[in-house]
Amino acid sequence: MGSMVRRIVLMALALAALLVGAAAPGTAVAPVAVIVEDTAGVLDQNTLVPAVERIQFYEPTRVAIFTYNGKAEDNLNEEVLKFARSRHPEWISPDGQKWADGLFIFALDPVGRHVGTYMGEDRKVSLEQRSDIQDASKELFRDAQWTDGTVAGIRRGAELINQPWYRSAAFLVTAWVTAGTAALGAAAWLIVRAVTRTGCRKQIERGDRSYSNVSMDLDVTELNAGTIPESSRYGSQVLEKHRTFLSRYATVTQLSNQVHALGRRALSSRKNLKLARQFADSAAELDALDDVIADSNAFLNRADTWPTAWDRQLAPFRKDLAGLEQLLAKRHGQGDSATAAALRSFRDESLREIERWTAELADRRISPEEALDLLYTARSRLSELLENHAETVIQGFARNDREARLMREQMETAHEGTDHRRQRTYEPSILGTVYPSYTFFSVATFNSGFNTGVSSVNSARGGGSTTGYGSSGGSFSGSGSSSGF
């Protein structure tokens, strides 16, 4: 097989080289003129003009740059055409229906958050390529880097306008796909099987570590469970989980036997990778549960090791408090808002409260159950404050009700841990065992929902190109479009 693949690849490479060699080399020319109409006042022309003048086009091209402070609901295409008709009629063809030949217009509305590209008929590109040019600038525009974003968009335009056929994506794909297909066709199945086999082994190793811990501690776990006070609200709930412990251990044992019976060839199967992952996940959750059983016994009975068990109950709350400042300091985090101030105040108060609870536990002024109640109340309060701040962040980032609704949905999905296809990681604590996983809104789930929400909104803003020129455009049909960022 290797010899055959090599022959096919060499033939494809020879064909590609022949095609490229037969094509005439493309010319590279600087813009014949650079016209800047920065009516929004956002561009550094001392940087912009030299940078654009250094960009190489395939054909002599006039570059016009227009900025305008509009609104989100404005049609940038229409505004560009209005401006051209009133101030630059030379940008329009003699019949008034198209953009002038040899012209490339790059337009920006930094307030309404739109970017547009317009070309003469001899410079026009497809709608997909116009979107490509606009997309090249959007990441910089989202960071308010107006000059750099404009240069990036014009540079991408120069790469696509009048692009020679042999430099087009379609040609490059066609030239190389034969070689790529041949090589991948021969190797892909080997790679997939090797990756799957490695994944299986890693999952089995992960499962073995957890299963070994559970097996070694099995007798101790049973002893711990036997002395957890059933009269305790928390203890009784942990014991409910324990009642299925041995049957779950038997299931994990069966899974362990199955995955260890797999040979090298079977380990390469996707079906068996799923089986190995099931073994690893089940063993890890059981390993966490036996730790919770041990902590419940030690803490609720005030055994000698109760301070260590108590520290483990505090760990998720402390982690959230420690992560608040990073959350508030991130871009779009609304760190100077009233809800941010409330979070900081709660953090400082909670750190003092943790010390007080621990001291009162040591002095027996509060019981272990009362301490867990206080911790539950504090984590619930933090969840409320994070929800309030989520709304502040959403209102600060979203431009309209649709974007706010999209961000809210992503926050709720992260909070609840449900698109009903993913299961949130089990929290190995007494509260994490007693209450559903979505009870507390953590800093980690806040960040996850926020990042996903921002990404979803940015993707929505970047889509939906507008090609029409509005009611004032009349019969004008020049090549051009705009999109949001």
Entry pTM: 0.61
pLDDT confidence of residue 134? 93
Which tokens hold the place of 323? 């992560």
pLDDT confidence of residue 171? 44
Q: Of 68, 108, 72, which Cα lies nearest the Cα of 460?
A: 72
Question: What does the angle CA 234 – CA 235 – CA 237 come to, to the nearest 5 degrees?
Answer: 65
DSSP code of residue 90 = G
pLDDT confidence of residue 419? 43
Residues 6+ apart with CB under 8 A from 481: 77, 116, 117, 127, 130, 131, 134, 465, 466, 467
pLDDT confidence of residue 33? 96
pLDDT confidence of residue 422? 45
Q: Which helix (H) or strand (E) holds 107?
A: strand 103-109
User: Scanning the structure block, which residue is given the tokens 């994490």?
Assistant: 432
Please give the Cα distance from 373 to 371 (Å, whole number). 5
Residues 6+ apart with CB under 8 A from 153: 106, 115, 117, 133, 134, 136, 137
Under 8 Å between Cβ of 183 and 1: no
Q: Quickly list DSSP for 416-440.
A: HT-SSSS-PPPP-SHHHHHS-TTSS
Under 8 Å between Cβ of 181 and 5: no
Please give the Cα distance from 274 to 66 (Å, whole number). 55
Please give the Cα distance from 55 to 159 (Å, whole number). 9
Q: Is 478 left (phi over 0), alpha (psi -120 to 50) or beta?
A: beta
pLDDT confidence of residue 464? 61
Please give the Cα distance from 182 to 341 (Å, whole number). 60
pLDDT tens, residue order, the chain (485 aa) = 445 445 545 555 555 555 444 444 446 899 999 999 999 999 999 999 999 999 999 999 999 999 999 987 889 999 999 999 999 999 999 999 999 999 999 999 998 889 999 999 999 999 889 989 999 999 899 888 999 999 999 999 999 999 886 655 544 444 445 555 555 555 667 788 888 999 999 999 999 999 999 999 999 999 999 999 999 999 999 999 899 998 999 999 999 999 999 998 999 988 999 999 999 999 999 999 999 999 999 999 999 999 999 999 999 999 999 999 999 998 889 999 999 999 999 999 999 999 999 999 999 999 999 999 999 999 999 999 999 999 999 999 998 888 899 899 988 888 876 444 444 567 889 999 999 878 899 999 999 899 888 877 876 665 567 888 988 889 999 999 998 88
Under 8 Å between Cβ of 41 and 432: no
Please give the Cα distance from 346 to 389 (Å, whole number). 13
Could you tell me which residues are beta bridge partners of residue 38? 67
